[in-house]
Amino acid sequence: MYKIAICDDNLFFIKQLRTMLKEKIRSDDQIEIYEYHSGEQLLMEMDHFFDVIFMDVVLPKRDGMSIAEELYRMNPLILLIYCSGTILPTTEAFQVQPYRYLLKQEMNQSWDRNIDDILHEMKLRNQKILKVTCEKEERWIHSDNLLYVMTEGKHSKITFYENEEKQRKIKTITVRENIREIEEKMDQETCYRVHRSVIVQFNYVVQIKNNIITMEDGQKIQISRMKAKKFHENFSDYMGVKYRREK
């Protein structure tokens, strides 16, 4: 399920954009569109994350750019689209990097192609985002930032990199999903379940010795005897692809 938010105080523009989106959405796509008429309303009702947010730059009370900064602190993985009828892009607008900056007066000219690009990018990004529930709140983790997953009773414990105040820090959280549910959402070419209770991300393996993996944060993980052969094959394939890509 994809969720798109439109935050704009111009009801006619919202109607136009909603119509344009519906024309582009395929019948088999599960997409919900939400409308907000102020940034404050959007922030108050952010009980779930959005895949895409169309944000008006000029809004009552607070401008869209300051609202976007708060949204990014809540979820830095959103696909942000600035929309403006009067203001051209400035350096201030890019304090929070948008995917597109669209001018409303060009809606009948360039928006058709841009909407195609936005929906395509939304689906590509969604493939790399792990959506989990932590303490009854939805959390999004980019799969490239995930180091490893371990079982925690009926649930799972995820260790990953997160950017905090422009610093990259390692965090560990417990989530409601079990390890099998998480494994189904991950890229099988870049990770492997080395034990029934542990999944590792190949990119953060720093050493393998006597079937014991040392991860980038120093965590040591035992590879089960039954999984060892397949792990080494998959890891070798991954490193081969990575080496060719980086040459």
List the domains of the chain with CATH numbers: 2-127 (3.40.50.2300), 131-246 (2.40.50.1020)
Looking at residue 47, what is its pLDDT?
A: 62
Please check whether residue 50 is in contact with residue 78, taking contact to mean a CB–CB distance below 8 angstroms: yes
The DSSP string of 70-92 is HHHHH-TT-EEEEEESS----TG
pLDDT over 70 (residue 74): yes
Average pLDDT, the chain: 88
Burial (CB < 10 A; 0-12, 13-18, 19+), residue 5, is buried
Q: Chain centroid to CA 228: how far?
A: 31
pLDDT over 60 (residue 226): yes
Residue with tokens 């990953």: 160
H helix or E strand, kind and range, residue 134: strand 129-134
Looking at residue 239, what is its pLDDT?
A: 87
State mean pLDDT over 229-236.
93
Residue with more model confidence, 240 or 183: 183
Q: What is the pTM of this model?
A: 0.72
Looking at residue 244, what is its pLDDT?
A: 58
Looking at residue 240, what is its pLDDT?
A: 82
Looking at residue 58, what is its pLDDT?
A: 87
How far apart (Å, rounded) are the C-alpha atoms in residues 141 and 124?
Answer: 15
Lowest mean pLDDT among 4-18, 32-46, 201-215: 32-46
pLDDT over 60 (residue 115): yes
pLDDT over 60 (residue 61): yes
Tokens of 192: 């492997």
Looking at residue 193, what is its pLDDT?
A: 96
